Amino acid sequence: MIGYLKVIINSFIRKELLESNKDAQTPNLTIPVLFALIILITMSITCRTISDLFNDSAPPSVLNLRIKPEPPITPWDTVIIEAQVTDIESGVENVTLLYGVGEDPTSLTYTPVIMHLTLGDCYNGTYKGEIPPQENGTLVWYYISVSDKAGNSYETYFMNYLVYFPSSYLTISIGIEDINMNNLSASLNIFVGGSLPSPFENQKLILHASNGYSESLVDFDIFIINMSATLRFWYQETIKWKVHLIGNPDDYPFDIYCLRLNFTIWWGRIDRLEGNVYYSNIRLLNAWQQPAWKNETYNTEYPQIIFYIPFIRSQYSTEPFLIITFLMCILIGSTLIILQEKFEGRISIHLTTFIFIIGFFFQIKDSLPFHIGYTKAELILLYLVIISCVYLISSIITSRFGKKARLIAAGINLFITFGLGRYFNLLTFQTLSIITAMSIFPNGEAIWISRSKIKKIMCKTVRKATS
pLDDT digits (tens, 9 = 90+) for 290-322: 444 555 555 555 667 777 788 777 666 778 888
Task: Classify residue 19 as exposed, middle or buried by CB count within 10 Å of its CB (0-12, 13-18, 19+).
Answer: exposed
Homologous superfamily (CATH) for 61-162:
Immunoglobulins (2.60.40.10)
What percent of the chain stands above pLDDT 70?
A: 73
Mean per-residue pLDDT, 449-462: 68
Q: Taking the domains of the chain in order of start, what are their residue ranges?
A: 2-55, 61-162, 169-312, 315-453
Write the CB contacts of 423 (distance below 8 Å, at least 6 apart in sequence): none
Reported confidence tier of residue 167, pLDDT bands at 50, 70, 90: confident
Q: Which amino acid is at 354?
A: F
Query: Is the CATH code 1.10.600.10 the one for domain 315-453?
Result: no
61-162 and 169-312 in the same fold: yes
Q: Check pLDDT > 80 for residue 420.
A: yes
Q: Which residues of 231-255 are buried (b: 16+ CB within 10 A; e: fewer)?
A: ebbebbeeeebebbbbbebbbbbbb
CATH code reported for the domain at 169-312: 2.60.40
pTM for the complete prediction? 0.60
Q: Check pLDDT > 50 for residue 280.
A: no
Q: Check pLDDT > 60 for residue 451.
A: yes
Reported confidence tier of residue 273, pLDDT bands at 50, 70, 90: very low
Mean per-residue pLDDT, 229-251: 88
How far is 210 from 219, CA to CA, in rounded Å?
5
Give the phi and the psi of residue 36 in degrees, each rounded to 5: -65, -40
Q: CA gyration radius for the chain?
A: 48
Q: Are 183 and 197 in contact (CB under 8 A)?
A: no
Start-to-end CA distance of the chain, whole Å, equals 163
Task: Please give the mean pLDDT across all residues of the chain.
Answer: 77
Count how many Cα atoms sit within 13 Å of the Cα of residue 97 in the half-sphere of its side chain. Answer: 27
Mean per-residue pLDDT, 377-404: 81
For residue 4, the model assigns a pLDDT of 47
